[in-house]
Amino acid sequence: MKSENAIGFQSAVLAFVMWGALPIYWKFLHDVPAEEILAHRIIWSVVFVYLILFFQRRTHELWSALRDKRTVLLMTFSGIIIGTNWFTYIWAVNNDRVLETSMGYFICPMVSVLLGFLFLQEKIRGLMKPSVLFALAGVLVISAGYGKFPFAGVYLAISFGFYGLFRKKVGVKPLPGLFLETLTLTPVSVIYLVYVHMNRGGVFLTDTSDTLFLLGTGVATSLPLLLYVAGASRIRLGTVGTLQYIAPTIAFFIGAFMYGEALGTAKIVTFVLIWIGVVLYLAQLYRDTKRPA
């Protein structure tokens, strides 16, 4: 029988691999507008997550959270943040900016460190100070090289950082939290899809392949989260912090070698700077694990 640690490690690795490979899934929906994909992702995530909670007999967690006005308000804000994050990610992938999404998720931990300093009075400790500076330098280099700011990548990092900040403020577990977040966005999503179909737009139920992939967006959203939760609860936080770079690394190789996105000088220098920041960040995590409790 496998140990709890082995199960946790394998679950976490699989979660990050699935997140890293997600651009391939969105590419199958390349001809579908990003806002339509997002609406379906929200609706089918609500359905899929509710079914999981129902079969796990955990629906009582939803009702207790819904009775708390503060929790509902915070989950509404976090729902808006994660919804715009999802939209930006889908749009970027289907507009040949997979490398930019990879950059965003590489610098995300450094953004979280900075947000913790600004809003939670957390100290930026040790090697995390230069790691934040290297990430910032990478963004500046790519902005100068592009001649424009890498909006999608930076927004992914900032929005996911603020998402983590909001989730830290509310004591709702990951799956019930995802359900409540997507539930707050469901009415708008339904209204949008009804409007699209009334105006003879939309691909749902008109194209078999697109319909199946749209139905699968709930699974593609929720299954990695389930695996992540199963993994994170069984292994050290420092290990999770190290494994999280699997996803943007896979996305980087997918963008550069599978979809042939151009790797100009500015992008190469940017990723080198960011990777230096990542190494420093991981080195600090390693230092933390060696300190006495």
What is each CA distance from 98 to 81, 83, 110, 115, 147, in whole angstroms?
20, 18, 20, 25, 18
Task: Grade residue 168 by pLDDT with cuts at 50, 70 and 90.
Answer: confident
Lowest-pLDDT choice from 32-41, 81-90, 169-178, 277-286? 169-178
Q: What is the pLDDT of residue 253?
A: 92
Task: Grade residue 199 by pLDDT with cuts at 50, 70 and 90.
Answer: confident
Residue range(s) defining the domain that contains residue 78: 4-290
Query: pLDDT of 96-139, one tens digit each?
Result: 999 999 999 998 888 888 888 888 888 888 888 898 899 889 88
Provide long-range contacts, Cβ within 8 A and 24+ apart, for 58-65. 58/175, 58/176, 61/172, 61/173, 61/176, 62/176, 62/179, 62/180, 65/172, 65/176, 65/180
Q: What is the pLDDT of residue 174?
A: 82
Measured distance CA(262)–CA(267) in Å, rounded: 9
Q: What is the pLDDT of residue 189?
A: 95
* Average of per-residue pLDDT values in the chain: 88
Q: What is the pLDDT of residue 238?
A: 64
8 A C-beta contact, residue 94 and residue 30: yes
Task: Grade residue 214 by pLDDT with cuts at 50, 70 and 90.
Answer: very high
pLDDT of residue 65 exceeding 80: yes
Q: What is the pLDDT of residue 81?
A: 93
Tally the domains of the chain: 1
Task: Grade residue 196 by pLDDT with cuts at 50, 70 and 90.
Answer: very high
Task: Grade residue 173 by pLDDT with cuts at 50, 70 and 90.
Answer: confident
Mean of pLDDT values over 23-35? 94
Q: What is the pLDDT of residue 264?
A: 83
Query: pLDDT of 238-291, one tens digit each?
Result: 677 778 899 999 999 999 899 988 888 888 888 999 999 889 988 888 887 776
Measured distance CA(223)–CA(207) in Å, rounded: 25
